[in-house]
Each structure stands twice: as C-alpha cells, then as structure tokens.
C-alpha cells in the first residue's frame, strides 16, 4: 500500500494508509486513546470529548472527526488534554448513579476502565440527586438510565446497523435521555431483543437480564432435574473470558464446568440444529415443489422473527414454521422425559446462548404448556462465565468432558449454525445428501455474491435452480426484503440472522473491542466442523432414533406438534376504532401495509363517494386496527363484509347492498 504521507504522533512518524480518521491512526501508532462514542461500525458522533488530540495549528480537536493529513503534528497527552479528560470523566460520574461494585457490567465497563486509567480519585462536582426509572419488563434487556452517559452508541447501533430505531434521544440539554419510543418500557416497543445495544453500551445502562439466581435455585431444588444445552457459538467464545484466544474450542471444558455447576444433563444445541434441518429442509422442499409460500425464511433467529412480526406481517406465512434449535431441543428433552415416565414439570431446561433474544424466545407463550415453559431459563455466554466464577471453578485448569447422549450428539452441520450462513450451508448439505447420496458434504453450488453481510448462492435440484440468500444484520435484511418486494431480487430460500456475523457476534458473547473476534469465532466453528466424523444432518442417527421413538415421520403429525410453531402479527396499531350506532360502518385498515397500499387515499375517495351519493349521514367511515390481512392490502370492512384489495368499485357494490339492508 502506498503511503499518503506521515503524521507525527507524540514525535513518532506514522504513515497514513486508509485510516478514516486521526483516531484510527493514533491507535495504529500503538496508543490506546480513550473514547466512548467512536466505533468503526457506526457513524462518527463526536460527543464524548475524550479522544482529544492537540494538533499543531488546529488546537485541541476530537481525533475521531479529523482526517489525517501529511505533515500533521499531533500530541495526545498534554497537561490540558489530561485535565479535560479527567474533568469530563468526573462530570459523567457525577451525572448518574454508577454504583460500580454492584453493577452487572463491573469489570467490563468502559467508563470504569477509563476512569481507572486516568486515575480519577475524587468527584469535585455535585452528584445527581434524583433517580430515574429502570426498564425491567423486557425478558432480555434491562435499561438503567442512571448509568447512561448519553454517548448514543445504542441509538446508532439500533438504527444504523439494525435499521430498527426503537430507542432515540429525547429531551434536550441536561434533560436529554435515551428513551424507547414515547418513553415506554423496552418491553412495550418494537425492540427485537437482539441486544446489540447491550453489546456496544460502554456502561451498565443496558445489560442483559440475568436469570442466574433462578438457575441456582433449580439446581439446588431436590425435586428437579435440570438439563442444560449449549449453543454452537458459545463454545468458541467462552474461552475469551479465561484468556483463551477467540475462536478456541472450549467444548470439553464447558461440558465439565456445567457438570461441576450441578446440571444433571449436559446437552448440545447442535443436536437440535441437526433436527431443525430435518424439518426445515423438508418443509422447504415441499414448498419448493409446490411453488408456494416462497421464499422460505429461516426461523432460528428469534430477533428476526419478532422483527418480521412487527414489520412484515405480509411475509409471516413465508417464515418456516420450524421452532428454533433452542426450542426444538427443549421440546425433545421434555417429551423424552415424559415418555420415560417422568413428569414434565420435574425437568427444567436451561440453555446457554450467545444471544439475549433467546431469553425472550423462551418466554413466548407458544413455547409453554400450562404455564410451564419448555426452556425455563437462558444464560448468555457471559452469564455462564459468572456462574463458573461464582462456583469457584478454575476454568483454564479443567479436563475436557463430553456431552450426555442422546441430545449431545451432533454432526458438523449442527455446529456451523452458530455463524452467519451456517444454517444455509447445513440445509444445502442436507438437500445435496438427498439429491446426490454419494456427494461430498462441501456444498457444490454457484456463489453469485459474497460479502460480510450477504451471500447469494444458486443450487441445482433435480434440474431446477434454487436461489438462496443468507443475510446478517437486520438493516441488511430490510434492504434485501425491499429488493424482493420491488422485484429486484428473487430467492427461494433466505436465511436471516439479526446480528452482524450471526450468532458468533451475538450480544451474549464476551464483550470485546476487537471486531476481529467474530471472524475468529467463525473460523473456530468451521474448525470443529472439520474435526467431526459426520457433516450432514441426516447422518445424525440419534435423530432418526428420535423420530422412531416419537413414531413420527419427518414433518409428520407428532413432529409438527413438537417442533413447529406459528407467528403473530405485531404491527403498530395507531388508530382507535370508533363507531356510531345505527350506521353502516366502513372501516379502512390503517396498518402500515394498507397505508402503503393507498388506504389513506381510499378514505378520501370514500368520503368523496359518500358526498356525491349524499349518504354521509348513513355511514360511519373510520380507520381501523390492522386486520392482519396484509397480503391482501388494502383491506376495507363494511359491517361484517371484508373487502380485500379494495378499491372504490368494490366498495360501491358492498356499500350499496349494506345500505339497502340497513334501510329495511
């Protein structure tokens, strides 16, 4: 790479390459300059005023916002800069209630870390005297505004990377807050619980909701058996908490640790990942053959599923009805336990996930029987480390152990689920295995496009082309869906993972400053896949045995009962219905799909129509809650008659009829 000149940083000449800003160049020079609000994956915000640099001729500037130029002379540690940094940290510490020792983020908190490094020992400023309300209703995320330093990282993550935007700044000046829409609780807005905000939050203002105490209680309960399952992505990340390099396989040690903690059965979610492929690939092949409800979207990611329920009610029937591996595993464990004579409520299932949304998924009412959730509690990777530490287990000194059978057996396909594109590859391995029984497990297909967020493949099945996409990051998914809706892109099968890089980059994983870690974890998973004897899901004979035991075929009745689910439309409701007695009710659906399909214009047309026919007094036109018929938008209901893909002609016919009826 040719150099674009040199910058003198603390007297050292540093070559400019492709650094986006001076901050990156300073880091390249080996100086860890403090910042809260600069992240390479987010836009430059410039608010924390810590990454200061004294540039000759320009004075003190925030290095995140300065383009490095040849000949610049920069100092990053001067008496004035030191004073500013310490003052700003003191101001932040005084602005809230940080209570470091009892904070869930202690030890992983950037604010704590920077304060320690700068040697802030006293607060000269008046400390805040009021407390703000915490959000505790979400199953996944706890929001504590008293610890918020308003760096805006969560906001930019939610909108810029995930394309959702459920949180934003509200208020102004010292009354500024980060708030979910209209100041509601996180549980009551369109948050998908992906937890990327938690991952990026430099303080304890956003954290995952810990269920550690309930899990200890279950473990210690004499009447209970507790089974634990660990997701694929956990095994290549937990080691980072114990100074192992990212991506290093710690499966064996984790199994040992889980047993030492006191779990009765130690299982591997990779097993149910294999199982998921049996059901999902079968479902796909059936749909593909019939050519209906395509493209099929995967359903393993609960954040994506909830997002679709909020925003793509017209696509809900395209989402695979398969439960996620976490839920399939719990269903299988509970069903087997009952089959062997146990009582359903006597066994509880804990899962260790790289994810915060899995906590929410476990609490979905569809996944419980008479109030008994299939998965009782969910631990994130980091929370498992907390339990290991609490028990006093010296993780790095553990001898590797093995999973319990049958739900501890897996093929490599079940392991790669933990990284973006893994589900897709597992499906392809399964389908190829059926189509060409002798084929090697490595997929033979045409790669049409591949970058960090999107992979497009083409596969030939019985002479027909299957168009496949695997996308990660919800904002990227949003764009893909828009392209599908506008006809720019066409697919048959689409994998969506809400988090960038898939589950290895989940919000439950160890917090790290290195963006390289997700990639290393991914390599780790493929490494484990390589070490397996089996690579195709259908080679998992414990799954064949499970179907035999359930006396069900793949996709059969019993399998459907246990391994499939359904979805709800959670579209924003913004209109309250209103009606007047004795009138013909004309209700126009004002769900956002109908609005996009001209519902607003339709209301205007109906009003004009009523005016022209002089029937204003006889009818009551009002917008309505979403009728959840988004594929048939716009929808109008006249008394009890529903008109799909409504236009004024159709309305005219029904309305005339209803008015005659009413007159009689």
Contact residues toward another protein (CB under 8 A) are: 44-49, 52, 59-60, 62, 64-67, 80, 83-84, 87-88, 91-92, 94-95, 124-126, 149-150, 152, 159, 164-176, 179-183, 189, 572, 574-576, 578, 590, 592, 595, 600, 603-604, 607, 621-623
Active-site annotation holder among 19, 90, 211, 283:
283
3-state secondary structure of 242: helix
- The DSSP 8-state label assigned to residue 119 in this structure reads T
- The DSSP bridge pattern shows strands 225-230 and 347-353 to be parallel
Nearer to another protein by Cβ, of 95 and 631: the residue is: 95
Q: Which is nearer to another protein, 39 or 522 (CB)?
A: 39
| Cβ neighbour number for residue 608 with a 10 Å cutoff | 11
Q: Closer CB to another protein, residue 445 or residue 594?
A: 594
**Residue corresponding to tokens 């903690």:** 261
> Annotated catalytic, 127?
no
Shortest Cβ distance from residue 497 to another protein (Å)?
Answer: 22
Closer to another protein by Cβ: residue 94 or 549: 94
Please give, one letter per residue, the 3-state secondary structure of 141-179.
EEECHHHCCCCCHHHHHHHHHCCCCCEEEECCHHHCEEE
Question: Nearest distance from residue 178's CB to another protein, in Å?
Answer: 10
**CB-nearer residue toward another protein: 164 or 350:** 164
Contact 517/240 with Cβ under 8 angstroms?
A: yes
**Could you identify the residue written with the tokens 């390459």?**
17
Q: Residue 167 Cβ, how far from another protein at the closest point, in Å?
A: 6
DSSP string computed for 46-62: --S--SEEEETTTEEEE
- Active-site residue flag, 280: yes
Q: What is the DSSP letter of 125?
A: S
Among candidate residues 154, 301, 503, 589, the one labeled active-site is: 503
- The question of whether 292 is a catalytic residue gets the answer no
In the bound state with another protein, the residue whose beta carbon lies nearer, of 77 and 578, is 578
Whichever of 548 and 580 has its CB closer to another protein, that residue is 580
Please, what is the minimum distance in Å from the beta carbon of residue 65 to another protein? 3
Catalytic residue check, 122: no
Catalytic residue among 63, 138, 208, 320: 320
Burial class (CB in 10 A: 0-12, 13-18, 19+), 566: exposed
Task: Please say which residue, 501 or 592, places its beta carbon nearer to another protein.
Answer: 592
Give whole-number Cα distances, 37 to 111, 490, 576, in Å.
11, 38, 40
Q: Which of the residues 240, 279, 361, 495 is marked catalytic? A: 361
Task: Find the catalytic residue in 147, 358, 359, 629.
Answer: 358
Q: CB of residue 601 vs another protein: minimum separation in angstroms?
A: 9
Tell me if 571 sits within 8 A of 313, measured CB to CB: yes
Query: Could you tell me the smallest distance in angstroms from the CB atom of residue 475 to another protein?
Result: 12
Cα distances (angstroms) measured from residue 123 to each of 88, 119, 220, 284: 11, 12, 43, 61
Residue of 280, 425, 456, 658 marked catalytic = 280
Strand, helix or coil for residue 619: strand
d(CA 50, CA 34): 6
Q: Is 10 a residue of the active site?
A: no
User: Is 283 tagged catalytic?
Assistant: yes
User: What is the smallest separation between the CB atom of 633 and another protein, expressed in angstroms?
Assistant: 13
**Residue 92 token pair:** 């932040």
CA gap 48, 110 in Å, rounded? 12
User: Which lies closer to another protein via its Cβ, residue 200 or residue 595?
Assistant: 595
Answer yes or no: 396 catalytic.
Answer: no
300 a catalytic residue: yes
> How would DSSP label each residue in 406-438?
STT---HHHHGGGSTTHHHHHHHHHHHHHHSTT
HSE-CB at 640 with a 13 A cutoff on CA atoms is: 2
Q: Which residues share a beta bridge with 14?
A: 7
Set 67, 83, 127, 366: catalytic member = 366
In the complex, minimum distance from the CB of residue 541 to another protein, in angstroms, rounded to a whole number:
49
Q: How many residues does the chain have?
A: 664
**37 in Cβ contact with 151 (< 8 Å):** yes
Q: What's the closest the beta carbon of residue 287 comes to another protein, in angstroms?
A: 30
Cα separations (Å) of 241 from 103, 228, 256, 574? 18, 20, 16, 45
Give me the active site residues, please: 280, 283, 300, 320, 358, 361, 366, 503
């Amino acid at each position: 790479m040719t150099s674009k000149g040199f910058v003198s940083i603390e007297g050292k000449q540093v070559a400019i390459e492709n650094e986006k800003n001076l901050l990156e160049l300073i880091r390249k020079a080996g100086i860890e300059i403090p910042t809260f609000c600069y992240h390479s994956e987010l836009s430059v915000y410039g608010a924390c005023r810590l990454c200061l640099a004294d540039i000759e001729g320009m004075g003190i500037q925030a290095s995140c916002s300065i383009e490095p130029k040849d000949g610049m002379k920069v100092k990053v540690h001067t008496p004035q800069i030191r004073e500013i940094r310490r003052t700003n940290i003191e101001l932040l510490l005084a602005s809230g209630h940080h209570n470091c020792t009892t904070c869930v983020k202690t030890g992983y908190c950037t604010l704590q870390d920077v304060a320690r490094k700068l040697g802030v020992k006293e607060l000269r400023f008046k400390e805040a005297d009021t407390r703000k309300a915490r959000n505790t209703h979400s199953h996944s995320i706890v929001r504590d505004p008293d610890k918020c330093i308003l760096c805006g990282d969560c906001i930019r993550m939610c909108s810029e990377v995930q394309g959702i935007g459920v949180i934003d700044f509200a208020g102004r000046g010292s009354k500024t807050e980060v708030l979910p829409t209209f100041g509601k609780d996180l549980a009551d807005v369109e948050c998908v619980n992906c937890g990327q905000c938690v991952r990026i939050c430099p303080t304890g203002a956003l954290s995952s909701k810990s269920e550690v105490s309930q899990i200890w209680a279950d473990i210690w309960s004499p009447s209970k058996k507790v089974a634990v399952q660990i997701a694929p992505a956990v095994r290549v990340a937990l080691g980072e908490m114990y100074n192992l390099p990212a991506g290093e396989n710690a499966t064996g040690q984790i199994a040992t640790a889980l047993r030492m903690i006191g779990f009765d059965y130690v299982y591997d979610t990779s097993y149910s990942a294999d199982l998921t492929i049996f059901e999902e690939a079968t479902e796909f092949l059936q749909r593909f053959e019939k050519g209906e409800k395509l493209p099929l979207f995967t359903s393993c990611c609960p954040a994506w599923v909830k997002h679709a329920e909020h925003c793509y009610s017209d696509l809900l029937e395209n989402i695979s009805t398969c439960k996620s591996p976490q839920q399939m595993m719990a269903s299988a464990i509970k069903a087997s336990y009952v089959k062997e004579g146990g009582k359903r409520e006597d066994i509880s299932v804990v899962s260790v996930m790289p994810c915060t949304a899995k906590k929410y998924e476990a609490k979905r009412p569809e996944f419980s029987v008479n109030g008994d959730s299939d998965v009782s509690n969910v631990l994130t990777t980091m929370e498992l480390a907390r339990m290991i530490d609490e028990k006093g287990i010296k993780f790095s000194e553990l001898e590797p152990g093995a999973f319990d059978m049958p739900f501890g057996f897996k093929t490599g396909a079940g392991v790669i689920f933990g990284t973006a594109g893994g589900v897709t590859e597992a499906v392809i391995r399964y389908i190829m295995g059926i189509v060409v029984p002798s084929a090697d497990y490595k997929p033979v297909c045409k790669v049409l496009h591949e970058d960090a967020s999107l992979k497009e493949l083409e596969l030939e099945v019985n002479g027909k082309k299957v168009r496949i996409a695997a996308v990660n990051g919800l904002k990227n998914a949003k764009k893909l869906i828009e392209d599908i809706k506008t006809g720019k892109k066409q697919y048959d099968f689409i994998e969506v993972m809400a988090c960038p890089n898939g589950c290895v980059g989940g919000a439950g994983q160890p917090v790290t400053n290195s963006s390289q870690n997700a990639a290393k974890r991914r390599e780790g998973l493929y490494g484990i896949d390589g070490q397996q004897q089996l690579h195709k899901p259908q080679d998992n004979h414990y799954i064949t045995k499970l179907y035999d035991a359930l006396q069900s075929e793949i996709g059969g009745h019993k399998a459907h009962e246990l391994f499939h689910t359904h979805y709800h439309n959670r579209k924003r409701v913004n209109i309250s219905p209103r009606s007047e007695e004795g009138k013909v009710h004309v209700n126009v659906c004002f769900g956002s799909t109908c609005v996009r399909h001209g519902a607003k214009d339709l209301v205007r047309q109906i009003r004009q129509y009523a005016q022209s026919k002089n029937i204003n007094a006889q009818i009551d036109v009002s917008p309505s809650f979403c009728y959840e018929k988004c594929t048939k938008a716009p929808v109008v209901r006249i008394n009890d008659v529903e008109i799909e893909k409504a236009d004024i002609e159709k309305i005219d016919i029904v309305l005339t009829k209803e008015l005659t009826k009413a007159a009689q």
